[in-house]
Amino acid sequence: MFSDLFSFLARMTHENLTHQIEYLKVENEILRKRVGRSIRQTPVGRRRLVKFGTPLGKDLKDIITIATYETFLLWVRRY
C-alpha cells in the first residue's frame, strides 16, 4: 500500500518538475528573442552555470541554451 502511494507521489513530482522545466525553457526562449543577441557570460556567471550544470552530466546537452555544450565543457575545465 505504501509502495503504491510512494510511486504515485514520485510520479506526480516528476510530472510537476517536467512541467516546470518546460515552462522555464519557453520563458527563456521568449526572453532570448527579446534580447536579440548573444549574451556574454561573466566569470561569476560561468562558475554558477558550471556549479549547477555539472551534476546533470551529459543530460545537460538536451537543455542548455545559454551556450553550446562544448563551450560549457570548456568552462568546466577552466573553472
Each residue's pLDDT expressed in tens, for the chain with a length of 79 residues: 678 877 777 777 888 888 988 998 899 889 888 988 778 899 999 999 999 999 999 999 988 988 999 999 999 999 9
pLDDT score recorded for residue 32: 87
pLDDT score recorded for residue 36: 80
* CB contact at 8 A, 65 and 25: yes
pLDDT score recorded for residue 2: 72
Angle between helices 69-78 and 43-53 (to 10 degrees): 100
- pTM of the entire structure? 0.70
pLDDT score recorded for residue 5: 74
Structure-block grid coordinates of residue 53: 550544470
